[in-house]
Amino acid sequence: MDKSLADTTRSFAWPTYLVAFLLVLTPAMDYITNVWPLRAGDVEWRYGSVGLLAGFLLTPLFGVLFGMGAAIMLEHRVALRIISSSLIACAAILLLMIAFFALDVLQLRGTVDATARSIFDVGVAKAAIKHVSMAVTLGWLGWVGIRVSKRSSRSKRTSVPLVARSSKPEAKGGDSPTGS
């Protein structure tokens, strides 16, 4: 990479991370203000808050992807590992949340009027599909990010060849490709 291009790229590192952080933080703050005050003991609140979360996950995903891309381009292995590890943890938490969401759905479904049950079922299906696809995506991105960070750390090391090339010319004889 050209030195001036590398300097320009490095000068954008922290602003890029800030944009990525804002893409994650802003929807998180919006979500929290929508579900506040927390009422974890109320099954209807849990169902509604987890269902609502499904609509807030896409923008943070862009922020994470933006941050990972910056870390890869700038060769910030530690930042990439932190982001990737966080993604794996978030995927695990989201999968756990899906399991509890399913229990809440089973508990609430019986209280829903028969006329509104199809709307309820569609809402549950949409939220479940969004959450499962997000958990898979976060886990996959985290796993790939960890692998990329390890690969880039290996490429930085100086490699010692297992077999050294000989500087001597090959012996002449019948084994030569030219047959001489």
3-state secondary structure 83-105: HHHHHHHHHHHHHHHHHHHHHHH
- Please check whether residue 81 is in contact with residue 65, taking contact to mean a CB–CB distance below 8 angstroms: no
Task: Tell me the residue type at 130.
Answer: K
| pLDDT, the chain, mean | 87
Q: How confident is the model at residue 159 (pLDDT cuts 50, 70, 90)?
A: very low
Question: What are the boundaries of each domain within the chain?
Answer: 3-155
In the block, tokens 């933006």 appear at 66
Residue 40 near residue 97, CB atoms below 8 Å? no
Q: Are 85 and 142 in contact (CB under 8 A)?
A: yes
Residue 135, classified by CB atoms within 10 Å of its CB into exposed (0-12), middle (13-18) or buried (19+), is buried
Phi, psi dihedrals of residue 100, rounded to the nearest 5°: -70, -35
Whether 177 has a pLDDT exceeding 60, the answer reads: no
Cα end-to-end span (Å), the chain: 46
Q: What percent of the chain has pLDDT over 90?
A: 73
Provide the token pair at 46: 């849990």
Contact 45, 39 (CB under 8 A): yes
pLDDT at 161: 47
- Which pLDDT value is given to residue 3? 76
Mean pLDDT of 131-136: 97
50-73 pLDDT, tens digit each: 999 999 999 999 999 999 999 998
pTM over 0.95: no
Q: CA 120, CA 59: separation in Å to the nearest integer? A: 25
